[in-house]
């Protein structure tokens, strides 16, 4: 699979036919990558395979796909509830959380949707090929932001399913490592990432949190070379 390119195709407008075609192509590419991973897992004797585009995670009964414009408000509400459920968030950060439309125009915003009800249970954002979504990522790395799970859906493996999907996207884009930043207070998220094999990158923890309390964002990374996709487990 080829390495990410540095050019960005399309207008960024999700209603533009050309951009919609490009995004559909990216979804198909990720789906193809997932299919290869599943087949490899079967050949190696692993039970099941990683969830991905158009696939339901067996324990979570959800499908991960790109968000639609009609779901932007639901995703905004979900993120505000997810981050505000345990943490104090500033008004400026609340605005960032709720600006799903702008994020979806610039990046890929994914949703985990309940197969039975169609309800959006979780979300995460990844960059387009050849781009980054945060200051943390370096060349050859894929970063992700704003992973959130509806408080009522916690315990169903949604966060794990979304993180594994990010790994699928990274592999499909030819990335060698997945990185992300997390607030020091987000202990639940840290446990999830560490269970999936992410490790702290203290030498890259340079971003200072704005507002009261300050502190630095934790940086995590997972090298993809030789890393087998783990099965879904926790929240």
Instruction: Please check whether residue 71 lies inside any domain of the structure.
Output: yes
CATH number at residue 181: 3.40.630.30
Instruction: Please check whether residue 3 lies inside any domain of the structure.
Output: no
Residue-averaged pLDDT of the chain: 79
For residue 83, pLDDT beyond 70: yes
Which structural domain, as residue segments, surrounds residue 40? Answer: 17-223
Instruction: Please check whether residue 173 lies inside any domain of the structure.
Output: yes
As for how many domains the chain has, the answer is 1
User: Rounded to two decimals, what is the model's pTM?
Assistant: 0.72
Please state, in angstroms and as integers, the Cα–Cα distance from residue 82 to each residue in 72, 88, 149, following that order.
15, 11, 6
Mean pLDDT computed over 5-28: 47
Query: Which structure tokens are listed for 40?
Result: 């490899």
Q: What pLDDT, in 10s, does the model give residues 128-168?
A: 999 999 999 999 999 999 999 999 999 999 999 999 999 99
220, 199 in Cβ contact below 8 A? yes
Instruction: Please check whether residue 140 lies inside any domain of the structure.
Output: yes
Q: How does DSSP classify residue 151? A: G
Instruction: Please check whether residue 228 lies inside any domain of the structure.
Output: no
* Residue 86, pLDDT score: 79
């Amino acid at each position: 699979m080829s390495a990410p390119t540095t050019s960005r195709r399309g207008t960024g407008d999700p209603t533009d036919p050309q951009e919609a075609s490009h995004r559909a192509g990216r979804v198909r590419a990720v789906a193809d990558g997932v299919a290869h991973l599943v087949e490899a897992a079967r050949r190696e004797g692993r039970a099941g395979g990683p969830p991905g585009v158009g696939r339901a995670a067996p324990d979570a009964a959800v499908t991960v796909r790109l968000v639609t414009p009609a779901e932007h408000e639901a995703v905004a509400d979900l993120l505000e509830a997810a981050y505000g459920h345990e943490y104090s968030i500033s008004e400026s950060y609340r605005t960032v959380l709720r600006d799903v439309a702008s994020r979806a125009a610039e990046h890929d915003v994914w949703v985990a949707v309940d197969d039975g009800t169609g309800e959006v249970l979780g979300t995460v954002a990844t960059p387009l090929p050849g781009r980054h979504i945060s200051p943390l990522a370096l060349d050859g790395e894929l970063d992700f932001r704003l992973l959130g799970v509806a408080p009522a859906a916690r315990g169903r493996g949604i966060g794990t399913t979304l993180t594994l999907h990010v790994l699928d996207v990274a592999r499909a884009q030819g990335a060698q490592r997945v990185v992300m930043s997390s607030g020091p207070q987000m202990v639940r998220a840290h446990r999830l990432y560490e269970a999936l094999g992410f490790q702290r990158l203290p030498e890259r923890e340079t971003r200072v949190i704005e507002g009261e309390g300050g502190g630095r964002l934790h940086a995590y990374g997972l090298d993809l070379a030789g890393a087998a996709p783990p099965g879904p487990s926790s929240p």
